[in-house]
Amino acid sequence: MDGVLNVLKPAGMTSFDVIARLRRIYGQKKIGHGGTLDPMAAGVLPVFLGRATRLIEYAPIHRKTYEAEFLMGLATDTEDVTGTVVETGEIPADPSIWESTAESFKGEILQRPSSYSAIKVNGERAYKLAREGNAVELPPRPVTIYDLILREVKPPLLRLSVTCSAGTYIRALGRDMGKMAGCPLTMSFLLRSEMGPFSIAEAKTLEEIEADPEGALMTDLRPLLSALPLLALDEKEAADFLLGKRLRTQEKPVEVAAAFCGPRFLGTASVERGVIHPKKVFN
């Protein structure tokens, strides 16, 4: 089967566990996902099957929204409650400090990823090196916090809603907010509620997918390819496109566009000097 799934990943499973389960459900190996979630995290996990795996690079999934909860007054080596406590501190008497702290993290910031992240260091995952007792210090990198809302300040719990760019670590955000506020934080809950065009309201559990594998697939790929210019082809043009033939067009030059015949996705193409050049054909 070819298509896309909006999977509701449960807490306690790795993203790879989800892929392994889906491979058994669909009986195929060619499955990939966008945006890894930590085992303790739940929420939206876009999964691409068959030829749709070739579209991951084009999917507009770089903007994400999370609902997160933190424990005040302690920090762990993993920056979440699965780790070992390495620091404790007093909870601020004035809860308004979290408002000003949250405000200071909005916009473009430099963030040092967690030492227990999946980033590779000399070919090894950072979390593997850290768990083996090696010192791991990852360099800061730019990320964008589009919005940061305080949902609730109820000591010892702090609840946030964060909309951010790809590459943002919510655990690390909590770590840095705690340092600024003078109160260590450790993440106790994380839910990804949105990722590009995927929302948790439309996500399906693994049990729902297993009950109706074909019905769970998103076969209309237009929302997924909304970041690309669209080429609308008629039936004759579509037949030629699927054969890899170049087509004359009045469309403006573009490096990558998504070609459709009605709702049917045909593939990606470039447009140069009035000619459509098929790139990835889905016949």
Question: Which residues are annotated as catalytic?
Answer: 38
In contact, 4 and 48? CB cutoff 8 Å = yes
Q: What is the DSSP letter of 198?
A: E
- The answer to whether the peptide bond before residue 278 is cis (omega within 30 degrees of 0) is no
In contact, 190 and 66? CB cutoff 8 Å = yes
Which residue in 250, 254, 282, 228 sits closest to 57, CA to CA? 228
Residue 110, exposed/middle/buried by CB under 10 A (0-12, 13-18, 19+)?
exposed
In contact, 3 and 218? CB cutoff 8 Å = yes
**Those residues with Cβ within 8 angstroms of residue 3's Cβ, 6 or more apart along the chain or in another chain:** 49, 50, 52, 217, 218, 219, 221
